[in-house]
Chains A and B, each alone.
Chain A
Amino acid sequence: MKFAGIAIALVMLAGCATEPVKAWQRGSLARRDMALDRDPLGRKYFQHLHDSKEAANGGEGAGGGGCGCN
C-alpha cells in the first residue's frame, strides 16, 4: 500500500499541470542527449552489468534476457 501510494503520487506529480510548452519551444527537448533512451546498447549493457551483481533489477518495464548471473 505504501508503494502504491508513493507510485500514484509520483505519477500524478509527473502529470500535474505546468505552463504548457509550445511546439516552437522544444528544440532542446529534441536533442539526443535529452532522450530517455539515447543509447540502447550501452544502457542494456550497463543494466545487465549491475543486475548480475546486485539483488535489485529492472525498473524500465517488461523485458527478459536470461541469467548472465555469474
Chain B
Amino acid sequence: MQLKPRVVVPERTCEADAGSLPPSNRGGGLLAAALALPGLAATLPVAAEAPPAAGDVALHFAHYQDFQPGADRIRVNTPSLFVLLPIAEQWALRANVVVDAVSGASPLFHNAVSGASGKGIGDIRRAQDAELTRYHDRGSVAVGYARSREDDYDSDAFRVRASFESVDHNTTWTIGAGTSRDTIDTSTSNQIALDEKRRTVDLQAGVTRVLTPVDLLSATVVVSHGTGYYNDPYKAIDVRPDGRDQRSLLVRWHHHFRADDSTLRLHYRWFGDSWDVQAHTIDAAWQKSLGDGWSVTPGLRLYSQSAAEFYFDPPFGSGLEPGKPYSADTRLSAFGAITASLAVEAPLGYGWSGSLRYAFYRQESGWRVFGDGSPGIEPLSARSVELGVRRAF
C-alpha cells in the first residue's frame, strides 16, 4: 500500500543535483547523480508510479521470543522471501512468501499461561502474497491476492488499488479497496470453533506530497467493516461482538539531512474501533549513513491503547454476564508499550547487501498515556533478531 511520487529527473539534473550537495557529501552526490540517470531512479521504491527497470530479490529470517515474569511464552521463527519482477516495461509483479513456525504457550486468561497447565502451542503458518501492477503515464492500477494457512485459521484476501499523480509529479493520490474471507476451525484441537467465518471489507484513501527537496509527507485513511467470528477459541471464556468496525489514520514524514547524510522517518498512527479501543502509535527511525554502503538505524516506537469495552480486569470472571461480551485477553486491556531497535546495513559484494536488526519490546499497563492502565497485568517483554539480504537484478 505504498505510493510515492515519481522521481522524474531530466538529463541536466545530474550536475545540478550533485552540485546541490555539500562538499563533504560528494560521495552521496555521485550516488544522487547516478540515481538521476533515467531508468536507475525508476528502480527505487520511491518511484512506485514508474515501472521498475530492474528486479529485486530479498531474503529475511527472524527469530522472536516473548516472556513474562517467571514464564517464557511464544517463540516464532520466520523465514520469508520477496521478489519484484518487471514485466514487459509497463507491468510489475511483487510477491512474497512467509512461514511462521510457532511454539510455546499463550495465556488462557489474563496472565495464566496455558503451558503451565501442560497445553503448549505448536503451529506453522504459511502465507503468500502477490500483487500485479500496471503502470500508466501518471498513475498505476494494482490487484493483489494474499492467502494464509494454519491448522486452525485460513485467510484469503483480495485487493485493488489505483493511484494518480499531479502534473508536476509532486502529489500522488491513492484509493484502494480490499476484502478478506477467514475461516476459524479448531476441530483438530479443542473443537470450540467449528468452521466459523469472518468477512472484512477495507477502504483506503491517501495522499503523498513532496513538500521540499528533502521532505516527503504522506497521509492514509483506512476504514474497515468486519462481521463474523471474533472470539479467541483458546481463551477460557471469550465472547466478543460478531462485528468490528475499525478506522485508522497514518501520517508519515520522511526528512533527509544533507549535512550529515542521514534520514529521519517519523510515523504517527491513530486507531479506533467499535469495541471502544483507541490507540496512538509514534514510530521514529533515524538512519545514518556511514559511507561505502554502511548505515546504522536506531529506532523507537511508542504505543498506547485503551481497553475494549468488554474487557474485564482480574479476578477472572469478574464482570461476566450471560449473553454479554466478555474477554480477559490482555491484548484488549489498557496499556502502553515501547519498542527499541537497532539496525545495521552493509554491502556484501556481488551486488548483495545485508541487514541485521535487533528489537526489544516491552508492554506495561502503567505506560498507558491519556488514562490509567488496566490493573493486575504482568508486564510482557519480547526480543527479536532479524537477518536480511537483498539484491537488485
* Shortest distance between the CB of B24 and any CB in chain A (Å): 15
Report how far A42 CA is from B285 CA in the complex, Å.
13
B149 contacts A by Cβ under 8 Å: yes
Nearest 5 Cβ contacts at the A-B interface: A64-B157, A62-B178, A66-B148, A61-B1, A27-B32
Interface residues of B in 1-44 (CB under 8 A from A): 1-5, 7-10, 12-13, 16-18, 20-21, 29, 31-33, 35-36, 41, 44
- On whether the beta carbons of B7 and A26 are closer than 8 Å, the reply is yes
Report how far A36 CA is from B219 CA in the complex, Å.
11
B364 contacts A by Cβ under 8 Å: no
- On whether the beta carbons of A61 and B176 are closer than 8 Å, the reply is yes
B80 contacts A by Cβ under 8 Å: yes
In terms of DSSP, what is the predominant structure of the interface of chain A? loop
Q: A7-B249, A45-B386 are in contact. Are A66 and B153 (CB under 8 A)?
A: yes
- On whether the beta carbons of B212 and A66 are closer than 8 Å, the reply is no
B361: chain A residues at CB < 8 Å are 49-50, 53
B337 contacts A by Cβ under 8 Å: yes
**Interface size bucket, B side?**
35 or more
Q: A29-B5, A42-B60, A70-B121 are in contact. Are A63 and B146 (CB under 8 A)?
A: yes
Report how far A29 CA is from B180 CA in the complex, Å.
34
B221 contacts A by Cβ under 8 Å: yes
B295: chain A residues at CB < 8 Å are 33
* Shortest distance between the CB of A69 and any CB in chain B (Å): 7
A49: chain B residues at CB < 8 Å are 64, 359, 361, 382, 384
Report how far A5 CA is from B21 CA in the complex, Å.
40
Nearest residue in A to B281 (C-beta to C-beta)?
A: A56
* Shortest distance between the CB of B300 and any CB in chain A (Å): 13
B202: chain A residues at CB < 8 Å are 58, 61-63
Interface residues of B in 246-297 (CB under 8 A from A): 246-252, 254, 256, 258, 263, 265, 269-273, 275, 277, 279, 281, 287, 289, 295
